[in-house]
Chain A
Amino acid sequence: MKKAISLALIAVLTLALFAACADSSPPASSPDDQSNLNLNRDAGSSPAAQNTPEDPPQASPAPDFDADRVIAVFTREEGSGTRDAFVSVTGVGEDMYAEAVVESETNQILTKVEENPYAIGYISVGSLSSSVKALTLDGVAPSNATILDGSYTLQRPLLVCVNEEKARDELVQDFIAFMLSAQGQAISATKWTAINAAAADYTPSGLTGTLKVGGSTSVEPLMQSIRQAYIDLNPSVTIEISGGGSGTGISEATSGVIDIGMSSRALRDNEKEALEDINIALDGVAVIVNPANPIENITIEQIKAIFTGEITRWSGVN
């Protein structure tokens, strides 16, 4: 009896949930949703991506968007690589607006921006979805081409670094050669931006041994994919990947505890003395708002003003 009732209850709750979801699902996406982001996923980047058309203005900017409302600022937590890149490029630095809502996952930023018409946030370009609107930055939309030529300035390098001794190691050289080859760059282009679209093919070397790679958690997913592809070609090589953050990766690569360090920020001058750094991909940081927001473009100065709390209302943003 109890069981039957519990089951009935679960069924009712599930139905209620579905009903609620059906109500709150976003309006059917328009065909030009994709123009928010003209990322070319193909490694051999075609010229089509070079001329990202300006975003067509929203057919009807939501009539009920009230520019006098408070800007809902969403940020990532201290220590996040995305946040580090964002605050250093925009000049927000350590003055992040204290009232900004802190979320520790990209998905939560996405959900909150999707739910709140007055929201603004930032995420890695690789994680963009059509449910939010990526703003153009000083008129430049985030795309593979604009990130690669540097005109989209809100970006960070994903790089690996090795100390002098490890740089002479055959296996390390071979693995890095793979990252920079056509196959490796094709993986970089899946969610990030490849730095070299015309790289040469890699041929397996038949080397054996073990490599330890560690550092930035932002580079880690890319490195995992590269590792898998490399091991498929060189089955007798073992590669261990650990996280720990860019700082850990750089210091352990310097001391030689690990063979290859990963970093999602450029090396500082004093770090460059002991390490050789190799860019393997670029990652753009997209500034996102709710699709109901009529704004299309934003400047670095405006971003800084919003994220330091100088501007708190949308009417303050031109």
Chain B
Amino acid sequence: MRGVFLVAALASVLAVALICLFLFAQGFPAIMEIGPLKFLFGTEWKPKQDIFGILPMILGSVYVTGGAILLGVPIGLFTALFMAKSCPKPLYRFLKPAINLMAGVPSVIYGFFGMMVLVPAIFELFGKRFDMMSGDSMLAASILLAMMILPTVINIAETNLRSVPQELYEGAVALGASHERAVFKVILPAARSGVMAAVVLGVGRAIGETMAVKMVAGNQAVLRLPHEFLKGVRTLTTNIVTEMGYVEHGSLHNGALIATGVVLFVFILIINMLFSVLNRDLPRRRRGKENAPNLSKEGAAL
């Protein structure tokens, strides 16, 4: 029976290994043919002329993800604090499933929402004043991604905030801190690494999102600066999905798209590593929590 479990466990590892193998086997020759520096730092992407530079897309991914974090993390964090520390029970019973529902909405639905509501709204608001071509922009993609990472950020941050020993809070209040002060100055710093983990997972979700971003980002492969957030942008994911439909099999263009996938994969690897590093000191605190009841019992006995 243990053999079955082992096979099941190996199957998932095998899947990841195969994906790695495929990506690197197909992507590396293309990177080598284009030249690693030209590929990573080239500012022009013109497949017809065999010019493949993905710097605009790398920066595009960074900007859009950064925007999503900037907009989404404060909202997510405050929501998590509220849900963990101040939320009345009846409201919690409503909020929790609502947030979980948000996590379950397919990304193409978010994309449709963005395309039909966000993009026209942004165009209406800023179009004339800033001479915008259309509402398809970094801003639209960032707002949409901020919405999409909310459930991830909220759920993980909430779990980690809850795992902070109640004694810390009680101690702070006993010393005369108000509820808000105790939450912000004691609980939040205590859960710092867990909150960072929530942010990192949010980054992972945002950087890998494809369909929704493609529908609102404009997809221009042009090098942008951060202050041009009202202009369109192409990310690593949308670069692959936009052009893979017609690409000729075995061509350098095809290889370049797979190589884009390699770069994205490396990004995700880095993010996952960050996540495990941040998660490393979580168990220590949980142990602290287990000890806590004993302490309070002792306190009561005294």
A residues within 8 Å of B by Cβ? Answer: 1-2, 5-6, 9-10, 20-21, 24, 66, 69-74, 77-81, 94, 98-104, 108, 111-112, 115-116, 118-119, 217, 244-245, 247-248
A244 CA to B248 CA, complexed, in Å: 6
> Given A9-B97, A24-B120, do A70 and B131 touch, yes or no (CB 8 Å)?
yes
A9 CA to B136 CA, complexed, in Å: 29
Asked if B93 and A5 sit within 8 Å, CB to CB, the answer is: yes
Give, as a whole number of angstroms, the nearest-CB distance from B222 to chain A. Answer: 5
Mark the stretch among B145-153, B182-190, B213-221, B260-268 that contacts chain A: B213-221
- Chain A residues near B115: list those with CB within 8 A: 108, 111-112, 115
The 7 closest A-B pairs by CB, nearest first: A79-B246, A102-B219, A72-B134, A101-B218, A72-B133, A104-B242, A78-B47
**Size class of B's contact patch?**
35 or more
- Chain A residues near B127: list those with CB within 8 A: 69
Asked if A78 and B48 sit within 8 Å, CB to CB, the answer is: yes
- Chain B residues near A104: list those with CB within 8 A: 214, 219, 241-243, 245
B177: Cβ under 8 A from any A Cβ: no
> Which single member of B49, B117, B132, B245 contacts A70 (CB below 8 Å)?
B132
Asked if A102 and B234 sit within 8 Å, CB to CB, the answer is: yes
**Chain A binding site: helix, strand, loop or mixed by DSSP?**
mixed
> Given A2-B93, A102-B218, A103-B219, do A9 and B101 touch, yes or no (CB 8 Å)?
yes
Asked if B133 and A102 sit within 8 Å, CB to CB, the answer is: no
B227: Cβ under 8 A from any A Cβ: no
- Chain A residues near B243: list those with CB within 8 A: 77-79, 104
- Chain B residues near A72: list those with CB within 8 A: 133-134
Asked if A100 and B220 sit within 8 Å, CB to CB, the answer is: yes
- Chain B residues near A115: list those with CB within 8 A: 115-116, 119-120
> Given A2-B97, A100-B220, A101-B219, do A80 and B134 touch, yes or no (CB 8 Å)?
no
Give, as a whole number of angstroms, the nearest-CB distance from A247 to chain B. Answer: 6
Can you list 23 A-B pairs with a CB-CB distance of less than 8 A?
Answer: A6-B97, A9-B97, A9-B98, A10-B101, A20-B116, A69-B131, A70-B132, A71-B133, A72-B133, A79-B246, A94-B46, A98-B221, A99-B231, A101-B219, A101-B232, A104-B241, A108-B215, A112-B136, A115-B115, A115-B119, A116-B120, A245-B246, A248-B248
Which residues of B in the span 200-253 have a Cβ within 8 Å of any Cβ on A? 214-215, 218-222, 231-232, 234, 241-243, 245-249, 253
Asked if A20 and B117 sit within 8 Å, CB to CB, the answer is: yes
B110: Cβ under 8 A from any A Cβ: no
B63: Cβ under 8 A from any A Cβ: no
